[in-house]
Structure 1
């Protein structure tokens, strides 16, 4: 099911839009329901397998995953790389990772690519940190390098959505550069201050 177009801005779901039921498959083979009928879903769109900027951010999520889960939030992370390419990079992550090489979910949620992903001045400092961290971990054999020509390109912009169990979008962020996403602190704050709305479950949800 597609996201309801009743509340969108330039084709992008905004708070109050309703996300239809999605039965996704993680790269681990596990089935992933979005929305999750029992808890909040933090659906985040990243870039390509092995992306240093994505890895820098996701490590902050890994370190605080227990806090996130305790707050009633399920993490679901989408990449535009094929599943076979992603598996080598995400096997140790404690949350669901979805491969979307055709960018169907990206299109549905209005997540875009743009040269400003890397050209924005605000991206330069985190990009430098990310590349240095990635180079060090690759040299130590703790990470694999990304493909020289990543599937889907290098200019993807991140996006974050907090989705209620009934499918309503509670909060959304479209990144303006490659490292423009919610911090864990902001995610937890959103979960605390945003009451779960009452309403019908999305069509097809179990």
Structure 2
């Protein structure tokens, strides 16, 4: 599976969120943070997504279009994340995952660094199982994409909780904006 690197350009895509909102990646005027999560009920993913829901105003103030992709159905995502203030994309066939080179690994759940977040997520959000045919071993990935489609930065996770935090996304966006102005 080919993987992107910073400096490469993506092909524009028109997507529809689980709230039936049309959106473009990249956004024509804003940076886009495109994050790939596992399945809708994933305890680690729920913990992570909640931090972005809580910090959404900071993303909006920074001019970042936030988009999260799950390899779950729209129905499962609405049951878990209907209150998200940003676009969520259902990709149960993992076409977008394949296009961005987002993979899976047994280390998603066996890596020791994923255990504590998994437990925290279980206690805060309960047990969520993948839908039939879904892979519980998906890895996360993050992309910060400029309006012209250039990948400003990207990260392919090596375990289930190896992704950018909200503060990292904001810092990367600030660094990009400083370079663009200067």
* TM-score normalised according to structure 2 size: 0.93
Within the candidate set 30, 46, 56, 1:39 is matched to 30
Aligned mates of 2:107, 2:142 — CA distance in 1: 18
Q: Which has the larger radius of gyration?
A: 1
Within the candidate set 15, 19, 23, 2:6 is matched to 15
Runs of at least 4 residues off by over 6 Å: none
| Aligned length, in residue pairs | 180
Correspondence for 2:99: 108
Q: Check the 8 A contact 2:39/2:130 in 1, yes or no.
A: no
Q: 1:84 deviation in Å?
A: 2.1
**1:85-116 CA distance string (max 9 Å, x none):** 22111210100000111111100100001100
Correspondence for 1:55: 46
Q: How does 1:1-206 map to 2 (within 5 A)?
A: 11-135=2-126, 146-147=128-129, 149=131, 151-195=133-177
Q: 1:146 deviation in Å?
A: 2.9
Q: Pick the structure with more helix per residue.
A: 2
* TM-score normalised according to structure 1 size: 0.83
Q: Which runs of 5+ in 2 are unaligned?
A: none
